[in-house]
Amino acid sequence: MSSFDDLPKRDRNHALESETEAAFQALIAESRDFVFQGGDRKDYGTDCLIEVVADGHPTNARLHVQLKGTDRALNDDDSLSISVDRTNLNYLIAQPYSFYVAYHAPTKSLRVSFVEAVLRRYEHSGKNWA
């Protein structure tokens, strides 16, 4: 092996990130209710913006979306658990109707949870998460 064959390896997280983005963009492309407006260039907690379309008319109402992907097994009730950092939650809560999209790679399924619902779950968890 020559020194030129010593290249970086693409880890599973990078591949999972690409799969997650592709699955979400495909879903939005099929929708008549939303338009994908692109990724966030400086990602501090928003991966992309989508615009609401009402009766075929773009509204300029934009939603912030944070994408998450996992290979983990589903919970016993078929739900999916993904950890969310407090700083990310704080960042997204500033924009109304922001939501998380979780991609479960083994089933190739997407799950959605609004930021407000995640915040309520944390507040009612009994843990000092703040």
Q: What is the CATH number of the domain that holds 113?
A: 3.40.1350
Spatial distance between the Cα atoms of 34 and 44, rounded to a whole number of angstroms? 23
Our count of domains for the chain comes to 1
Quick one: tokens of 57? 């008319």
Res 44: pLDDT? 79
Q: How far is the CA of 39 from the CAs of 14, 31, 32, 77, 119, in angstroms? A: 16, 18, 19, 32, 24
Residue 69 lies in a domain: yes
70/106 Cα distance (integer angstroms): 8
Confirm whether 1 is domain-assigned: no
- As a whole number of angstroms, the distance between CA 115 and CA 78 comes to 20
In Å, the largest CA–CA distance within the chain is: 60
pLDDT single digits (tens) 110-119: 999 999 999 8
Q: Which domain holds residue 75?
A: 9-123
Query: Which token pair is 49?
Result: 């913006």
- In percent, the amount of the chain with pLDDT more than 70 equals 98
Is the confidence at residue 6, as pLDDT, over 90? no
23/19 Cα distance (integer angstroms): 6
In a domain, 4, yes or no: no
Specify if 130 maps to a domain: no
Which pLDDT belongs to residue 130? Answer: 62
Distance separating alpha carbons of residues 128 and 28, to the nearest angstrom:
36
What token pair was written down for 16? 């999972």
Q: What is the pLDDT of residue 129?
A: 65
Provide the whole-model pTM: 0.85
